Structure 1
Amino acid sequence: LKRLVELILNRYFLYNKKFASISASFGNPWKYIPIDDNGLMIDKLEESGADVVHLSPANHFPTGIVMPVTRRLELFEWVNRIRKRYIIEDDYDSEFRYTGRFILPLYAQDTQSRVIYMNTFSKSLVPSLRISYMVLPPRLLERYEQTMSFYSCTVSSFEQYTLARFISEGYFERHINKMKNYYREQRHKILAAIHASPLAAVSQITERNAGTHFVLHINTKLTEAEVRKAALAADMCLSFYSDYSHNTEENNGCTLVINYAAIEADKIAAVIERLSSLFPECNQIS
């Protein structure tokens, strides 16, 4: 608990890879659990011998997998089986879901106080705000208050009170609704641009109607190293699926993680055109 709180107080917003590196630096043993189309595999979690699991059930990064109810129930069966087990729920961008009903976080479904809930305003507001928060189960909250309440928050009181008022007066909810419409339109424009480009004939898109990114697999004879080199020459900074994968097996083609949150709408067509130019297969398509 102390090490977890230290991470929160230092205002780190962590994806699994960074979370693992920091946790390991404290001497905590760490294992990566395989996933399938429904998210984290509970049988592999059981085999790992872990007592605490860190995951993002609302939107796994970078696959975008949303954990279904059946898998969530299996996860609760796992955590409730042994008293010392806990789930760390990293709910980093659950606000941005564009179709279907809102999915409750695990914390809201937890009946045995086994979920530690984490979230941040880096996605919903602005990264420079650097405010994250954690909701502890009553038993851990009591322990925290007894042993760690002397910790000082590194976020200024002015920013905290401003954010509290922003939320209490309804501005945050209106902001989220506005940003959902904005990102939905961004998503529509960039997907339409890809479908209208030569990339459409040589690529497959995996996206889950949530978050601000999707996965783009391109069937190309180029190696990933060659694509990286070509991208740098074209003044493009690309994010590759392998950057977030711990599977060392080589796959055919090139898989990119496309984050469209910061792309200016009037530059989307140009961005996709430049991306297409990296691949000889696209250049062969008239």
Structure 2
Amino acid sequence: MSATEGEASVPARGIADDRVLPATRWVAIAIVPFLVVAAFLLFAFPERTGELFAWAIDPPLSAYLLASAYTGGIWFFVRVAAARRWHHVAHGFPAVVVFAGALLVATLLHLDRFSQNLSFAVWMTLYATTPFAVAALGIVQRRRDPGVPDERDVEIPRPVRFGLAAVGLAALALGAALFCAPAAAIDLWAWPLTPLTAQVTGAVLSLTGVVNAGLLWDSRWSAFRTLFQAQLLSLVAIAVSLIAGRDALLWDGPATPAFVGLVAVALLGYGAFALWCESRMRRAAPLRG
């Protein structure tokens, strides 16, 4: 019997009630409209980002990539607002802190690239507050996870967890390289980058790495179900973006086929994994209570 299953009959005590606090729900509700507007502007008007968004993004493929991250974020924060249990969304909070924090640092490093408009004021306000607010909520909520599975849940096998964590850590390492050495990435990436868009791309790649790191110590599918749904939405959006922005892809280097191939493999692999877990969960007997 696994450690997770062994804990299944242990009742939650004290503060470990798996409750999502009202403040957490309200912050999630407040974030969603910003993500919706940003994703819409980036997908619908990539050529007018200098006018309508916080800064001019070129080529549009970089705008699409950021919008793809926002697409997954919309699903995640909607689910946070509606979550019945804290552990269903807990592993997403560190990823949001790293992503938003990285974008704040990138903004401060490249203030001269940003438009002096309302969109930049909103952008600056959002990224100057979100990483700290989400981090504070994650810390306050942390002890509320009782560490037990749902009544009907699936334990993710260790080889699968470690394999997905390795994929995530590879994405995190690549994202860190793009963020810390953007000048080097400009010559090697799959489409043209500036130092700012290189760091933004690195921040986007960090999301998968931080989320998947949680698989190293948590085997509950219920703890990752929402997050993998969000990642799948982002991957679908990235795949569509690569098609829509294909004119910017630099096929004469190895990075482009490698990136396109990795997106295709990740989309198929994540989709198959999620369907497998859902199928097992539907067939599973209740684990507790």
Normalized per residue, the structure richer in strand is 1
* TM interval, short-chain normalised: under 0.3
Higher relative CO (CA 8 A, sep ≥ 6), structure 1 or 2? 2
Normalized per residue, the structure richer in helix is 2
Bigger Rg, which one: 1
- TM-score with structure 1 length normalisation? 0.26
- TM-score with structure 2 length normalisation? 0.25
